[in-house]
Amino acid sequence: MKKILLISLLILLTSCSINDKSMDNSANAQSFLDNIITNPEKAKSLLHDDFTFAWMGIIEEGGKIWNKENLFDEYFANIIPAILPNGIILKTVDSISDENGVAIIQIGDAEGKNGEYDNNYVWIFKFKDGLIHSLREYNSDLLVAERLYDYKLIPLD
> How many domains is the chain partitioned into structurally?
1
Asked if residue 38 is part of any domain, the answer here is yes
Q: What is the pLDDT of residues 84-143, one digit of tens each?
A: 999 899 999 999 999 999 999 999 999 988 889 999 999 999 999 999 999 999 999 888
- Residue 68 CA, chain-centre distance (Å), reads 14
Report the greatest alpha carbon distance in the chain.
Answer: 74
Note the pTM of the prediction, 2 decimals.
Answer: 0.82
| Count of beta carbons in the 10 Å neighbourhood of residue 135 | 24
Asked if residue 90 is part of any domain, the answer here is yes
Asked if residue 124 is part of any domain, the answer here is yes
Question: What CATH number has the domain bearing residue 124?
Answer: 3.10.450.50
Domain with 141, as residue range(s), is: 2-147
pLDDT of residue 146: 87
Assess contact for 134 and 125: CB atoms under 8 A.
yes
Q: State which amino acid sits at residue 53.
A: F
Q: What is the pLDDT of residues 37-70, one digit of tens each?
A: 889 999 999 999 999 999 998 888 888 999 998 9
